[in-house]
Every structure is written in C-alpha cells, then in structure tokens.
Amino acid sequence: MSVKEAVKISKETLIKPFEGCAIILPNKLVKAYPDPGTGGKPWTIGYGSTGPDIKEDTVWTLEQCEHALDEHLLYFMNGILKLSPKVAQENPKRIAAILSWVYNCGLGNYRISTFKKRIDAKDWVGAQEECKKWNKAAGRVLRGLTIRRNAEAVMLG
C-alpha cells in the first residue's frame, strides 16, 4: 500500500506541480516545448514526457498527457524497486521524493549516484544533501530545480 500511496503523493505533490503541463493551446491541446536547460533537445510534452517520438511539432490531448505520466510513473517506480528493493519498506513520503527525483533525473543517473548509495544505506540526512546537488541542467543551476530538490529533500527527512 505504501508504494501505491507514494506514487499518488509524488504525482500530485511533486511531479505535476514542478513539471507542469506547459503550453496548453486555446483548443485545450498541449504542444511540445524545448528543454528548459538546453533550449532544445530533448523536446518535452505534458508533464515532462520526452522520447524519440516527441518533436517540436508534437501535440497531445490532456488525456494523453495524463496517461503518459501514469505509464512513466509505473516504469520509474518499478526501476527504483529493482535497484533499491528496500525502498518499498519506507514511508510513502520518502518513496514519493525518490520517485520524483528519478522521474526528473532518470534511472541511469540514479543507478550510479551517491544519492542511491545514501538511500540504500538508510542515511536520510546524506540522501537529503545528495538530492539537493542535482539542481543543474546543461551545467547551469536552475531555480526551479533548486526549489524541487529542496521539496524532495524535505520529504526524505
């Protein structure tokens, strides 16, 4: 139950507010936008969805955005549980924070990160510190990422 609850908390408290659903057109369709860090690739749509099929001219419905978010959350949660199985025993807020971080930074980065090492060691103070370090895109500190990492760090505590 805690994993399912964590996915909901992460989606509503961290991911949707920080990712947003940018560029909603007057006809209620959603248009792809360039990555805020690079000003280009990867093109993004909905709540942070990227991939080879998402290009500058991609347009989705709000329903497609919600569906993609739900699919991605399941994918990332399953990946976290494979890489850090003991996370499933943590409180939902901690799981939610980890899921938000992984949704934003990726499983590859999680796999090799000191953030994961701290989580696996149940070093929550260390995990909070490591979480906050991931506030850059294309080498630049982004205010939005700093705010997001701080929110995730609070939930890890």
Task: Cite the active site residues.
Answer: 19
Hey, how many other C-beta atoms are within 10 angstroms of the C-beta on 149? 24
Phi and psi dihedrals of 114, rounded to 5?
Answer: -70, -25
**Which 8-state DSSP code applies to residue 136?**
E
